[in-house]
Structure 1
Amino acid sequence: MPELSVKAIKGRPVAVLGGGVLGRRIACTWAAAGYTVHIRDPSLEQRNSAIHYVEQNVASYAKTISSSNLGKATAFEDLDAAVKDAWTVIEAVPEKLQLKIDTFAGLAKLTKKDCLLASNSSSYKSGEMLEKVDEDTKRRIFNVHYMMPPDNRVVELMTDGFTDEAVILFYVERLKECGMSPIVARKESTGFVFNRIWAAIKRECLTVLSEGVSTPEELDRVWVEMFSGGKAGPCGMMDAVGLDTVAFIEQHYVKERGLPTKDTVDFLQTNFIDKGALGGKSGKGGLYPAGYTTKSSGEGSSHHDNLHSPTLYYLDLGMNATEDIMHAGKIVAQSASGKEPKTLVSNLTLPDGLDISVKDNRIYWTNMGIPSENDGSIQSCRLDGSDVKEVVKKGDVHTPKQLIVDQQNNKLYFCDREGLRVIRCNLDGSEQETLVQRGDWKIKEDTQDSLRWCVGISVDNQRGYLYWTQKGASKAGKGRIYRAKLEIPSGQTATTRSDIETVLTGLPEPIDLELDEEAGKLFWTDRGDPPMGNTINSIDLRDLTHVEDASDNPRYNVLAHNMHEAIGIKLDKRNQHIYATDMGGFVYRFDMDGQNKKRIVDAEERAFSGITLAHV
């Protein structure tokens, strides 16, 4: 193969095939060291998520290696375009051997003869992937398995049995320049170096659990005290990686060495995998309950924690501005672990509600405008805050409040407070239609009647309902939650529709709504007076009926008290958490039952409104 040199690779991209949890971290590692990175993934949502991850984290990666020359990541759907002129391609596709064999066969034809082809697989030896490549290509193929950058920088390299020795030596030096800690296996081995030891540890831990000798909590506590310096234990790490992945990897050792499966693969399959309890990624927990591997600020975490933690996006109303407070609003993005807040968009006019579509690479939000004027608007931007566009122009909506993206049908739903209505439109603002009209905003008496103000919004596509709040006067105890069918009955209008039901009334001051369709529960914030106000609340949708007054209200649950003018709410269904904001400058995280209250953001001089999240 051609001689390897730094000069020969200068200006050429690093290509990463797969934009998942590990693929995007590999990409960020190389971008932080100044390389141009191409991420190839067939999923549009994965491509957008991967690029957003790199944009949000590349600076912090670079800081740890004192790099000031940041590279840029670009996403591709087409494999040919992604690997064109690459000096190395790192395969991080799903762990299916035939897929990897076919991938390397394609790369042999698409890449230059000096392009180094690496597999990130820890389950398969690269020597098992050579079925369709020629002898020359075999010399440039090898394993290069990353643990979990940036916190764990170990990278294991291993020959495919034919790899040119110079290839491994050259790659080791490039990895060191990226701040990685490369370890080279001296010969082919299923599981490399560390992973063989780690596999034995996992195997014995699972046997201990299968036999009922201990619990995940006790086992991890012993491990943490004895070995890991106060960080994660093996059970927590297995949940973070995914129990299906743990079982898949173990099957390779079983096949190669004839190991028993009763207390490992079979134990996981029967008790967890068959039930969909795959660990942190499943929303159903695993060895631990859902959300265990998601840590917030102040909690000890390891490199396997927060892998499935969301990025939070919340609105700062700009109350800490020294001038022009009415136009000082911001969109802030921040990891749910409480680190790395970043302002994406500034100079907003009282922003109130927002949601995100990773698939479309857009954030959408409402600007209330000046409440006494008819100058509200809805805008959108890319996930990085660029390309700000007007979706609903000023004057086409009066005072827009909570907004949600109907991911299933590519629609925006939002409430218009002084406009006294609930509205739906396409993501580009077209086909705007009023679904509910509670008065005439042109009539002063109607506009000033706070009992008509529509504020919070949620959509239940599964059952075919639209929910919204009408909050009433501040802390007056006259707030209500309504519902109606998603489509106006034939022959009726938004004003005359007869299917509107009052499902809760006499509430202190209900604000934003959130729905868990699968669990059949409705959640909302209330900024009214205690004890029922300044709370997070929920109700089972099966309990809802039409009510006339508060004495008819079905029983609902007050999950959390002592908020400071509670506003925004968003459910993290993967980790079974509730996130909420308030006007007191706090962002909170709760369990779904309201327990384990954590403050993610504590900024008393600020005021927050809407919040949303995405797993990127």
Structure 2
Amino acid sequence: MPWQTPTIDSRPVAVLGAGVLGRRIACSWVAGGYNVTIRDPSAEQRQAAIHYIDNNLAEFSKILDKTTTGPGKYAAFEDLDSAVKNAWFVLEAVPEKLDLKTSTFGILAMKAPKDCIFGSNSSSYKSSLMLDNMDEEAKKRALNVHYTMPPSNRVVELMTSTYTHDEIFPFLVEKHRDIGLLPAVARKESTGFIINRLWAAVKRETLNILAEGVSDPEEIDTLWIEMFGRDKAGPCAMMDAVGLDTVAFIEDHYIQERHLDGTNTVDFLRNNYINEGRLGAKAGNGGFYSPGSTTKSEEGKQDFHDDLATPTLYILDIGLGENITHDFQHAGRILVTSGDGQNARPLITGLEAPDGIDISISDDRIFWTNMGIPSQNNGSVQSARIDGSEIQTVIAKGSVHTPKQISIDHSNKKLYFSDREGLRVHRANFDGSEHEILIETGDFRNTSDKEDQTKWCVGITVDPKNGRFYWTQKGFSKSGKGRILRSNIVMPPGATASTRSDIETVFENLPEPIDLEIDTESKTIYWTDRGEYPLGNTLNRGYVGDQQNGKAYEVLSRHLHEAIGLRLDKVNKQIYFTDMGGTVYRTDADGKNKTAIYNSDSTFTGITLAHLN
């Protein structure tokens, strides 16, 4: 039967798999004006993919030169039927397991429309190996369609399954050019296509150079960039970004098919990096480079892998900067931007003095506190979906006085938040139920208690692994009477929030400690401080294990302008923090390489992050 060109109209492109590459493929088609459905069994992956498109669609349109084309619609589904029922093109980007891909193609042959084209994004397996469960007619509509890493690399390679209708190739070439990508057609089946075979040779020889001790990663990459491209990364940084375990997995296929020696390639990688947990940018332990080295550090810098480890930042603007309006009580907003400070945009506006923020990708919710009017008992806690929609009140006005930092216990799905003039630490479920008072340092209805700033609870972080939570009591402004305290998550029997006996002072005589964050693995707590120089207006850290060394702490960064928000990027071993001067900073975990990644005329309070790339 001759091939019939599928009608498109409003029919979607379906992408199976919402991971790193799947969401980029989907965003490319949406930017090109095509409707897209995404299918993934993981709710967290689906939500992250939709949020990724929300945040990056404008940038894709710009890079792919599709700014004059209106974007398509997009949605994500858990079930396959909903995603593919009307698709004209289905692209599988599921994990690189041949039996899974074979099963997927077989199911698609039964469920997708009879004119639908089936593409596999696999770079390791030929599509001819995936067709065992397909009927003869469906086999003629199947092929490899391998995307590199849009939008920064626009190459798409098409390759026959040996059964594929010849007419499909010019049709798909035209459609990919239409969305701003650069398609190429392999003339015959070939493991690795065109680009990946060239890239495999580069990787292989790079690994040989390293295994033989001829050079090191930095030198190799420096020479590569000088010779072949100032705006691209070198081969070692590219392998780090892909993941060294993935590099080894792909190389295994070449070794098996071509009977290559793996001593200086996969064996070298596994013995010196992978077996030690050094998988590259994604793992938090580094690879050829230290953690954080593959994130963007300069405005406009791009590399081959589009900075896959860079987090998405969510920043609170209290609304007292240049954007202040006559209604300053409702001038607060949540901004969202990438970890390099590019493409910042408002996500939610009209907030009442927001101060603390945290995010649960798995539950598709952002949570934040609103201080309201500090002299009144009208603070609140709210949440929204991560796209900014469906705003809900979690803790109503009057149930919390002046809420400050908020911290999520992801293991138990609990919210912890401090209450400054309320003189309390609270805990509640994500929907606001089971609202508890954990700490009460005084009675906010008593004027002398309420005016005693040594009793004000400000920052909060939770350590469910070790069964503790920490909070700050800042003291009077610049007074040097601030403290960091901790207590057990489980209330002692018979105790109340005001009488519990398990409270321990961790650090004291601090200038004015504000927000907190804990690294549970190293038992290290980080905090911002708004006190006087030289110890105030700083970023700090100290060990909080059971064997503290004289309760000493170290100042990591100075000269901030009323420091508040704080968040650890545990993947890249970096710290993000904000100040009321309108700057977002990033440093390494030891405070080095301080960079102001985002400056504005706003007044920043809280910050949180998520890895969505």
User: Which category of TM-score, normalised to the shorter sequence, fits these structures?
Assistant: over 0.9
Do 1:2 and 1:114's aligned partners in 2 also have CA atoms closer than 8 Å? no
Match of 2:164 in 1: 163
Cα distance in 2 for partners of 1:420, 1:532 equals: 25
Aligned partner (choices 390, 398, 407) of residue 401 of structure 2: 398
Aligned to 1:226: 227
Is residue 2:574 matched to residue 1:577?
A: yes
Alignment deviations for residues 176-222 of structure 1 (CA, whole Å, 9 cap, x no partner): 11111000000000000111011000000001001110000000000
How far apart are 1:530 and its partner, in Å? 1.2
What SS class does the counterpart of residue 587 from structure 2 fall into? strand
Whether the 8 Å CA contact 1:466–1:483 is kept in 2: the answer is yes
3-state SS of paired residue (1:226): helix
Counterpart of 1:307 in structure 2 is 308
Matched, 1:556 2:553: yes
In the alignment, structure 1 residue 612 sits paired with structure 2 residue 604: no
List per-residue Cα deviations over 1:545-598 (Å, max 9, x = no partner). 6xxxxxx96111111111111101000101111000001110000000000001
* Displacement of 1:158: 0.3
Residue 126 of structure 2 aligns with an amino acid whose one-letter code is: K
Residue identity in the other structure for 1:186: R
- Does 1:453 find its partner at 2:456? yes
Residue 9 of structure 1 aligns to a residue whose secondary structure is: coil
Are the aligned partners of 1:503 and 1:544 in contact in 2 as well (CA < 8 Å)?
A: no
| Partner residue, 2:486 | 483
Distance 1:403 1:593 in 2: 24
Within 2, Cα distance between the matches of 1:2 and 1:488?
73
Given that residues 329 and 346 in structure 1 are in contact (C-alpha distance below 8 angstroms), is that contact kept between their aligned partners in structure 2? yes
The CA deviation string for residues 15-65 of structure 1, in whole angstroms up to 9 with x for no partner, is 101111110000001111222211111111111000000111112222322
Matched, 1:17 2:24: no
Secondary structure of the residue aligned to 2:109 is helix
Structure 1 SS opposite 2:545: helix
> Match for 2:125: what amino acid?
Y
Deviation at 1:229, TM superposition (A): 2.6
The amino acid of 1:383's aligned partner reads: I
1:292-315 residue CA offsets vs partner (Å, 9 max, x unmatched): 100134373313142111000010
The answer to whether residue 572 in structure 2 is matched with residue 566 in structure 1 is: no
Q: Find runs of 4+ consecutive structure 1 residues off by over 6 angstroms.
A: none
Alignment-derived partner of residue 211 in structure 2:
210
1:382 pairs, out of 374, 382, 385, with 385
Helix, strand or coil: the match of 1:197? helix
Counterpart in the other structure of 2:283: 282
Contact 1:450 1:472 in 2 (8 A): yes
Deviates more, 1:35-44 or 1:58-67: 58-67
Q: Structure 1 residue 324: deviation in Å?
A: 2.1
User: Structure 1: how far apart are the matches of 2:232 and 2:196?
Assistant: 19
Counterpart contact for 1:306–1:337, Cα < 8 Å: no
> For residue 236 of structure 2, what is the amino acid of its counterpart?
C
| Residues 417 and 457 of structure 1, relative CA distance in 2, 3 Å threshold | same
Q: Partners of 1:607 and 1:539 in 2: how far apart?
A: 27
> Within 2, Cα distance between the matches of 1:268 and 1:24?
28
SS of equivalent to 2:261: coil
Q: Matched residue of 1:47: which SS?
A: helix
The one-letter amino acid of 1:163's match is T
Q: Deviations over 1:213-252 (max 9, x none)?
A: 0000000000000012343100000000000110011111
C-alpha deviation, 1:606, in angstroms = 1.9
Aligned to 2:185: 184
Aligned counterparts of 2:342 and 2:76: Cα–Cα separation in 1: 26
Task: State how far apart, in whole Å, the 2-side matches of 1:67 and 1:360 are.
Answer: 35
Contact preservation (8 Å) 1:403, 1:414 = yes
List aligned pairs for 1:126-141, cutoff 5 A. 126-141=127-142
1:439 alignment partner, SS class: coil
Unmatched segments (≥5 aa) in structure 1: 546-551
Residues in 2 aligned to 1:518 and 1:459: alpha-carbon distance in whole angstroms: 13
Q: Contact 1:4–1:167 (CA<8 Å) still a contact in 2?
A: no
User: Which residue does the alignment assign to 2:57?
Assistant: 58
Gaps of 5+ in 2: none
Q: Does 1:418 align with 2:453?
A: no
Q: Distance in 2 between matches of 1:521 and 1:2?
A: 67
| 2:103 corresponds to | 102
Q: Which residue of 2 aligns with 1:39?
A: 38
What's the counterpart of residue 542 of structure 1? Answer: 545
- Return closer, same or farther for 1:297/1:351 CA change in 2, 3 Å cut-off: farther
Query: 1:323 and 2:326 equivalent?
Result: yes
Distance in 1, Cα, partners of 2:149 & 2:540: 38
- Structure 1 contact 524–538 (Cα < 8 Å) conserved: yes
Supply the distance in 2 between the matched residues of 1:574 and 1:602 (Cα, whole angstroms): 24
> Partner amino acid for 1:247?
A
- Secondary structure of 1:195's match? helix
The reply to whether residue 172 of structure 1 matches residue 169 of structure 2 is: no
Is 536-545 or 312-321 further displaced after alignment?
A: 536-545
Q: 2-side partners of 1:44 and 1:224: how far apart?
A: 39
SS where residue 354 of structure 1 aligns? Answer: strand
| Alignment match, 1:409 | 412
Cα distance in structure 2, aligned partners of 1:327 and 1:187: 62
CA displacement 1:467-496 (0-9 Å, x = unmatched): 000001111100000001111100110110
Tell me the SS of whatever aligns to 1:117: strand
Say yes or no: does 1:430 pair with 2:433: yes
Do 1:296 and 1:338's aligned partners in 2 also have CA atoms closer than 8 Å? no
Pairing 1:81-96 to 2, within 5 Å after superposition: 81-96=82-97
How far off is 1:544 after superposition? 5.9
Deviations 1:513-554 (A, max 9, x none): 001112221111111111111111111222666xxxxxx961
SS at match of 2:213: coil
Q: How many percent identity over aligned positions? A: 57
Contact 1:504 1:553 in 2 (8 A): no
CA RMSD of aligned residues (A): 1.3
Residue type of the partner of 1:396? Answer: S
In 2, Cα distance between equivalents of 1:135 and 1:276:
44
Query: Which amino acid in structure 2 is aligned with residue 379 of structure 1?
Result: Q
For the residue of structure 1 that corresponds to 2:237, the secondary structure is helix
Q: Which residue of 2 aligns with 1:587?
A: 584
2:296 corresponding residue in structure 1:
295
Using the alignment, how far apart are the partners of 2:482 and 2:292 within structure 1?
Answer: 33
Q: Is the 8 A contact 1:474 1:528 kept in 2?
A: yes
SS of alignment partner, residue 189 of structure 2: coil
Q: Which residue of 1 aligns with 2:525?
A: 522
Other structure's SS at 2:167 match: helix
Q: Which amino acid aligns with 1:54?
A: I
SS of 1:301's equivalent in the other structure is coil
Using the size of structure 1 for normalisation, the TM-score is 0.97
Q: 1:335 and 1:328 mapped to 2: Cα distance?
A: 23
Report the AA paired with residue 355 of structure 1. D
Q: Using the alignment, how far apart are the partners of 1:133 and 1:594 within structure 2?
A: 56
Report if aligned partners of 2:5, 2:115 keep a CA contact under 8 Å in 1. no
Q: Distance in 2 between matches of 1:307 and 1:356?
A: 20
1:33/1:67 contact within 8 Å kept: no
Tell me the CA shift for residue 406 of structure 1.
1.2
**2:122 is aligned with what amino acid?**
S
* Partner residue, 2:29: 30
How many residues align? The count is 608
